């Protein structure tokens, strides 16, 4: 009854789980009835060295005496059974509590431990800092245990399913132990536990603890493209396996994660503890390391992208938003708050990020807590292109792009699997007067750092004129792993004079954050363009050229540096994403609670060569306990594979089944299938 009333009935653990600020009921079975004049004292406590001054302990009685806002009331007294209602204050710290009773009768007092209970944030209660009034949103952002995370690039937005699994066995206990293993708890456990009444504090600690930097947190990040000794980040299907592995290993960081893995896992823990939360993807996300609201990107004259300087632009970056009030900043900053557990920059000496109010980001209030400058830059920085000359070790500024950063900011829609664009929550329309004002306001607040950067002139020598040609890459074939990658470089002469153009082109396989893996193709040519002529120069990259160097990201960066004598270079760049072959899942019978159901996986090897070391990983909250790992026999060229396996649904409703198929030629092929489970 308590768990239904407190919306904690979905948790698989048998613990008593309640939400703060809301009464719950216990029945005490005594050896005799309560006599008049006898009182029951209750003592609740949480954390080590609990104290009433820190509000981590409270003493209250059925006669109405109370400290710290807790109270108890005798609801019914029938014979030897006492029905008692206990209520906590809405500002109580969350976590594991002990409940003791003290009976004073006939001048003697005896004390007894009744048990433990877990207290969570309460988004159903208006007085709670995490209150969310909209029923459908609350259902999505607190109770939905599977979701979708957007990945890819601006010209090819993709999605992966993710199993949050916040109600699965042991996930609540692991979430609480994350707090107990934080640096703050280790330094000063008494203060840390007392501060767990504040979602701002809890969320900031979690943003530090989900990454393994500094504190032996949950996940170890790796963007090198080499994942030996761990799991390729693309193969995870959800957070449950990660959190369980962390506990099983004696709390050593799980290898390996990238941004969506950190965000998916943080989302699990936030929803588990009762903070409404969602996963956000920002395309063309800037990583500005020097706080000047611009990122510098370098190329050499041969068309090679260079890993020079510490700034970068990620094809996409994934973070979280948690929903709560900002008592420290004022009501205009309430609502969604950015939290980012991916270790990118230190904040107060630790890899943690947020909470940063989304409203404050839109207003350009970069001087507000926490980490506003970094997050503002992720969605607003200017992108400055430099050409580097390795002969004399000089560089010159080539172009400034003020509108390519922070595109298609996306999250899963409430109640459906469609994409919801939330870019307008983060910034005003690109190029609008409000947007420019906000950018200037942010720069003004950053001075003196900000006087350079976006405003600097083209280059010091000033010998090169504005370019007279324009270029772009156009995809001309199908983009699929195993096939030739086919594009055209479209070059247009925008003047009435004849022009000679030298083009230097390269293609590199990359990781989604721009890490260069290996050059797979290059070409150079000199052509002449008649007045206003447009030509197409073909780019063809064979599977044999990229096969060994393609990562699970399936990304290739193609760059052309085009030069007309005495004019500035034109840099043309395109990241292409190659499609994996399809992995199909189908349910073979109607799914019912507590009845086994057969599911079939279909996969065809599209290659002219065999694929080996094939493994299928399946998981889905409410559909199977833990995860399923199936070894799939090797496939000959063009061979079809059909694998059947059994799942055992435990909860009714629409549940999401997730699969990852990995083999030596395809490191991570994804599939998801919604399954309607009837009672």
H helices of 447-524, in order, are none
CA distance 545 to 541: 7
Residues 6+ apart with CB under 8 A from 10: 143, 145, 167, 651
| 192 three-class SS | helix
* Cβ pair 253, 220 in contact under 8 A: yes
CA distance 502 to 267: 50
* Cβ pair 285, 317 in contact under 8 A: yes
* Cβ pair 26, 84 in contact under 8 A: yes
Place of tokens 């080499």: 226
CA distance 302 to 523: 9
| 587 three-class SS | strand
Alpha-carbon distances, residue 456 vs 210, 291, 325, 398, 459 (angstroms): 39, 16, 40, 11, 8
Is 380 annotated among the ligand-binding residues?
Answer: yes
Alpha-carbon dihedral sign for residues 104, 110, 115, 116: positive
The long-range contacts involving 70-73, CB below 8 angstroms and separated by at least 24 positions, are: 70/42, 70/44, 72/40, 72/42
- Spell out the SS3 assignment of 89-108: CCCCCCEEEEEEEEEEECCE
Catalytic residues: 259, 317, 340
Chain centre distance of CA 620: 19
Is 143 annotated among the ligand-binding residues?
Answer: no
* Cβ pair 317, 259 in contact under 8 A: yes
- Spell out the SS3 assignment of 308-376: CCCCEEEEEEEEEEEEECCCCCCHHHCEEEEECCCCCCCECCECCCCCEEHHHHHHCCCCCCCCHHHHH
Is 168 annotated among the ligand-binding residues?
Answer: no
Is 365 annotated among the ligand-binding residues?
Answer: no
Place of tokens 């962390």: 246
Binding residues for Ca(2+): 380, 382, 430, 435
Residue stretches of the annotated binding site: 380, 382, 430, 435
């Amino acid at each position: 009854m308590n768990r239904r009333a407190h919306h904690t009935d979905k948790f698989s653990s048998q613990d008593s789980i309640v939400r703060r600020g809301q009464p719950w009921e216990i029945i005490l079975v005594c050896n005799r009835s309560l006599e008049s004049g006898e009182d029951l004292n209750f003592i609740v406590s949480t954390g080590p060295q609990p104290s009433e001054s820190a509000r981590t302990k409270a003493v209250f009685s059925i006669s109405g005496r109370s400290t710290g806002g807790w109270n108890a009331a005798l609801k019914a007294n029938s014979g030897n059974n006492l029905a008692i209602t206990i209520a906590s204050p809405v500002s109580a710290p969350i976590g594991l509590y002990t409940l003791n009773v003290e009976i004073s009768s006939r001048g003697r007092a005896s004390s007894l431990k009744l048990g433990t209970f877990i207290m969570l944030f309460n988004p159903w209660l208006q007085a709670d800092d995490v209150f969310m009034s909209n029923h459908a949103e609350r259902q999505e952002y607190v109770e939905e245990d599977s979701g979708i995370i957007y990945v890819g690039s601006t010209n090819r937005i993709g999605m992966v399913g993710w199993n949050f699994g916040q109600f699965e066995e042991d996930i609540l206990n692991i979430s609480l132990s994350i707090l107990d293993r934080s640096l703050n708890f280790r330094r000063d456990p008494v203060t840390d536990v007392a501060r767990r009444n504040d979602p701002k504090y809890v969320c900031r600690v979690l943003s530090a603890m989900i990454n393994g930097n500094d504190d032996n947190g949950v996940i170890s990040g790796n963007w090198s493209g080499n994942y030996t000794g761990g799991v390729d980040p693309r193969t995870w299907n959800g957070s449950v396996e990660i959190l369980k592995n962390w506990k099983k290993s004696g709390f050593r960081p799980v290898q390996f994660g990238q941004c969506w893995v950190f965000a998916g896992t943080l989302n699990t823990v936030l929803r588990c503890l009762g903070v409404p939360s969602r996963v956000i993807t920002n395309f063309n996300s800037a990583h500005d390391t020097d706080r000047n609201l611009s990122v510098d990107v370098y190329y050499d004259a041969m068309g090679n992208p260079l890993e020079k300087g510490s700034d970068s632009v990620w094809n996409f970056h994934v973070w979280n938003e948690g929903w709560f009030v900002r008592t420290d900043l004022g009501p205009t900053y309430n609502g969604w708050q950015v939290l980012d557990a991916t270790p990118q920059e230190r904040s107060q000496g630790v890899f943690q990020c947020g909470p940063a109010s989304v409203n404050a980001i839109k207003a350009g209030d970069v001087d507000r807590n926490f980490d506003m400058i970094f997050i503002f830059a992720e969605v607003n920085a200017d992108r400055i292109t430099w050409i580097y000359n390795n002969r004399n070790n000089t560089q010159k500024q080539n172009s400034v792009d003020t509108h390519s950063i922070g595109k298609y900011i996306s999250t899963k829609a409430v109640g459906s699997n469609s994409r919801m664009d939330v870019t307008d929550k983060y910034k005003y329309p690109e190029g609008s007067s409000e947007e420019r004002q906000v950018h200037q306001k942010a720069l003004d607040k950053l001075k003196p750092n900000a006087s350079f950067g976006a405003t600097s002139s083209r280059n010091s020598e000033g010998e090169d004129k504005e370019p007279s040609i324009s270029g772009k890459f156009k995809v001309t074939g199908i983009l699929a792993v195993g096939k030739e990658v086919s594009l055209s470089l479209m070059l247009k002469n925008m003047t009435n004079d004849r022009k000679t153009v030298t083009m230097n082109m390269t293609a590199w396989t990359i990781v989604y954050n721009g890490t260069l893996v290996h050059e797979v193709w290059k070409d150079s040519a000199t052509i002449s363009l008649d007045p206003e002529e447009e030509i197409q120069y073909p780019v063809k990259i064979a599977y044999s050229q990229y096969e060994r160097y393609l990562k699970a990201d399936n990304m290739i960066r193609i760059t052309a540096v085009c030069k007309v004598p005495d004019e500035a270079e034109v840099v043309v760049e395109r990241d292409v994403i190659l499609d994996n072959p399809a992995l199909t899942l189908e349910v073979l019978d109607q799914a019912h609670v507590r009845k086994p159901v057969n599911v079939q996986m279909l996969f065809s090897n599209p290659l002219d060569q065999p694929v080996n070391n094939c493994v299928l990983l399946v998981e889905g909250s409410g559909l199977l306990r833990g995860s399923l790992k199936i070894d799939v026999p090797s496939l000959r060229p063009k061979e079809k594979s059909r694998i059947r396996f059994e799942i055992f649904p435990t909860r009714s409703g629409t549940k999401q089944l997730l699969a990852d198929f990995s083999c030596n030629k395809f490191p991570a092929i994804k599939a998801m299938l919604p399954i309607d489970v009837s009672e």
